[in-house]
Structure 1
Amino acid sequence: MQTLAALCVLALLALLAGWLTQWLVLKVFRHMRETLKTEWAEVLMHDKVLRRLAKAVPSLIIQFGIMGVPYLQPRWTTLITNVASAFTLYHLARALCDLLNAMSQAHGRNAQRKAEQTHSIKSYIQLGKLLICSFAAVLIVATLLNRSPLLLLSGLGAMSAVLMLVFKDTILSFVAGVQLSGNDMLRVGDWIEMPQVGADGFVVDIALNTVKVQNFDKTITTIPTWKLMSESFKNWRGMFEAGGRRIRRSLSIDAHTIHLLSKEERTALSSIELLRNYWDEKTGLRAVDDAKPGTIDHSSGHLIAPDQVSNLAAFKAYAYAYLLAHPRIHQGPGMFLLARTLEPSPHGVPLELYCYTNTTIWVEYESVQGEIFDHLIGMLPRFGLKLYQRSSDYGMHYPVPVSAKPQV
């Protein structure tokens, strides 16, 4: 009866001490946390961490108070002590895991306040929790069996081959995660393309084993972390950091409409303000009509060049000047801007525009690109040019064979 009464009193004291400790710890440390108002204080004095530490107090009281219970057999004392120690280890391991979770939450809040793309520490948090849980499990089992943890660890060493096979993906993913983070190859918020796995969107989560990508159709693609190191992927972060998005698109000019400009056509095009510098550079265009090519223009000192300016060259100069004057075209360092003709093909003569917009937002980028090409397409007839159309080859430029004409 004395033993049973002592056990009941000990259990009641343990429960009462646990409740009192939790109330006191939460009250005191909350006040300290509000006074300090630092990130480390919020992490170390998180409510979940404090509650989990308070839950370890009853098992500690039982663990050390069981020695004072009268007439209790040694084997029961050892059993109760081992069970109480196991509970203490369990709650301490859970407290460490909650501490890691609090660190992850604080890191996430800090990233949101800065409103910038940041490195993800979720993989490290998960690895830390895995190590803590594994180590705690070994200690708990050793405590319940009343054996040294080294014996269990030596047995696990013999099972290393099996453990390597079971945790193969975890080990590979952890190494890949360290390399991705250390080399700054991937962040949460990066837009990546990985066609081989169907990923094209923004990274929303980087975990120990997987990386989640939200595609533009709002689907989620889950990629093993190690796959990002073994295979290639495209990261668009550099575009956002540079502040410019590239436009590289061609206009296919109908080759039949390309010709040398006549005097009347040059006079008509000279009224275009964007072409004034271009005409000034063409010294041959300022020569008198009866001057012969190869002579010197004494008013300017330039050599009079042959009159060989085509409407395509004039339009190319206009397109370049239009891009230079456009307010949404980025002209900073490294932002190339050019208009060039590519090799003629059976589909016309490509006139390629290469430039960068001063916005990286998709909708605005498409609007600027559409505005530029709508304007240039509308200006083609003024230069006597037309876009290539496959049906126009036969319907406009080539006569219909007599045998193909319908009979009247």
Structure 2
Amino acid sequence: MFENSLIIKYTNFLKEILLDKGMPEFWAALINLIVTFTVVVIIAYFFDRILRKIVVKAFYIFSIKTKTTFDDFLVQSKFPRYIGHVIPFFLLKLIVPLIFKDFPFLLNAFEIIINIYGIILIVKIIRSFLRSTQKYLRTKERFMDKPLESYVQVVMIFLWGIAIIFIVYQLTGKDVLSFATLGAASAVILLIFKDTILGFVASIQVSVNDIVRIGDWITYNKFGADGTVTDINLATVRVQNWDNTYTTIPTYSLISDSFQNWRGMQESGGRRIKRAVFIKQNTIQFLTPEKIEEFKKIQLISPYLKTKYHEIELYNEKTGADKSVLINGRNLTNFGVFRKYVDAYLQQNSSVSKDLFAMVRQLEPTSKGIPLEIYCFSSDKNWANYEAIMSDIFDHIIASVPYFNLEIFEEPTGKDIAILTKK
């Protein structure tokens, strides 16, 4: 009470002087108000700046001395700066009613302005704290790939919603609860925040079901995305494509549509190679004993040929097969031997993972020949190294085909047709 009386005395000092000089009370009060208010605003402004610098500096020094990084993020998000506004706000809240006591209308208007400023200041302090928390948690391995920004955005949306309700209450004087429960307002809010609500639901499902993490490589053909997820927020997922462009995908699409996540490959022991060469069907033939002897010189399949040929000879002798005609009995083919050769080549290739499944198989014949598919996993998952490994494997396979009297199918070119017409 004594402090208020002292403040009133100083705020009315000019008014008392003007009244003593014979000025009308209204004009004396008005001039006193203008001068006093101007002085208070100037003092509050400089006090705010000085206090803000002191608080920011104190936080900065404190953050340097502490081991935790959380306070560093508080400084980066301007939390101390907003805290520095709190004391000047309360000083204005205390002094302004005493300055404007002779002008109720102006008093009411300035109280509304100060209250709205206080609401916005509280929101900014909370927002700064939440952002600092988000950045701090991002440094923890457990939270590095979680969509923390989505949760912060949701909290901020509700916080700003509550703040707007209180601001409207300050401006209109209507009861907060009655305003918040209006059916029409609820319908409008649902309409406006439809995408936000869908995004929030999607963010929760993405996080709980571990569908996508930051750092995952995803392919989403619908949106032309093929690259690494760099950010997951409430509305969108940001993907940096391999050509260094960015694609934004609606978060809700991750649970409503189908896309490809390569995380399983990245976490496994290798990256899959699945490619085929097409062999001309008319080059496939039975092997004569002479050809088998010739193929035994190929080291990778020499043990196989010795064992297999001996097994076939015993079978043909047992069944009395007439080998004067090659088709009789059991036989080896150049295509079958080549398939075994490719399988042996993959088994001894150090770039092919030995812990993951590998096979060489013949697929259904097509108009372009018989596909011989190589299915294995490279031991190196790096994209550039993976492509190099796959290229080396198929370079060798393609170069090996003629050694088995086989040919790879190719569409005829204009040069091929010209040669045929000349003949």
Scaled by the length of structure 2, what TM-score is found? Answer: 0.81
Letter in 1 for 2:166: L
User: What residue is the counterpart of 1:52 in the other structure?
Assistant: 82
Shift in Å, 1:370: 1.2
Letter in 2 for 1:18: D
Q: Does 1:351 align with 2:399?
A: no
State the Cα deviation string for residues 26-70 of structure 1 (Å, max 9, x = none): 222222212222133234454611111212332221112234448
Instruction: Point out the more displaced range, 79-88 or 312-321.
Output: 79-88
Letter in 2 for 1:30: Y
SS in structure 1 opposite 2:317?
coil
Do 2:137 and 2:144's aligned partners in 1 also have CA atoms closer than 8 Å?
A: no
Letter in 2 for 1:176: A
State the Cα deviation string for residues 205-257 of structure 1 (Å, max 9, x = none): 22211222233344433222212221111111111111411111111111222
SS in structure 2 opposite 1:223?
strand
User: What residue is the counterpart of 2:357 in the other structure?
Assistant: 336
State the Cα deviation string for residues 185-222 of structure 1 (Å, max 9, x = none): 11222222222233233223222112222333444332
Aligned residues: CA RMSD: 3.1
Alpha-carbon distance in 2 for matches of 1:213, 1:200:
7
Match of 1:365 among 386, 389, 392: 386
User: What residue is the counterpart of 2:49 in the other structure?
Assistant: 19
Structure 2, unaligned runs of 5 or more: 1-13, 16-31, 321-327
Do 2:101 and 2:107's aligned partners in 1 also have CA atoms closer than 8 Å?
A: no
Please state which structure has a larger fraction of its residues in helix.
2
Alpha-carbon distance in 2 for matches of 1:8, 1:141:
28
Q: Does 1:262 align with 2:294?
A: no
State, as a whole percentage, how many aligned pairs show the same letter. Answer: 31
Do 1:100 and 1:125's aligned partners in 2 also have CA atoms closer than 8 Å?
A: yes
Shift in Å, 1:268: 1.7
Shift in Å, 1:267: 1.5
Q: Does 1:292 align with 2:322?
A: no
Do 1:252 and 1:349's aligned partners in 2 also have CA atoms closer than 8 Å?
A: yes
Larger Rg: 2
User: What residue is the counterpart of 1:247 in the other structure?
Assistant: 273
User: What residue is the counterpart of 2:123 in the other structure?
Assistant: 93
Instruction: Point out the more displaced range, 307-316 or 193-202.
Output: 193-202
User: What residue is the counterpart of 2:151 in the other structure?
Assistant: 124
Letter in 1 for 2:68: T
Instruction: Point out the more displaced range, 168-177 or 72-81.
Output: 72-81
SS in structure 2 opposite 1:292?
helix
User: What residue is the counterpart of 1:193 in the other structure?
Assistant: 219
Scaled by the length of structure 1, what TM-score is found? Answer: 0.83
User: What residue is the counterpart of 2:236 in the other structure?
Assistant: 210
SS in structure 2 opposite 1:63?
helix
SS in structure 1 opposite 2:353?
coil
User: What residue is the counterpart of 2:70 in the other structure?
Assistant: 40
User: What residue is the counterpart of 1:182 in the other structure?
Assistant: 208
**Aligned length, in residue pairs:** 382
Shift in Å, 1:12: 4.0
Shift in Å, 1:17: 3.2
Shift in Å, 1:287: 5.4
Alpha-carbon distance in 1 for matches of 2:245, 2:45:
49
Instruction: Point out the more displaced range, 204-213 or 61-70.
Output: 61-70
Alpha-carbon distance in 1 for matches of 2:308, 2:264:
40
Match of 1:318 among 315, 337, 341: 341
Alpha-carbon distance in 2 for matches of 1:130, 1:19:
30
Match of 1:169 among 172, 175, 195: 195
Shift in Å, 1:84: 1.4
Change (3 A) 1:165 1:71: closer
Alpha-carbon distance in 1 for matches of 2:228, 2:77:
33
User: What residue is the counterpart of 1:299 in the other structure?
Assistant: none
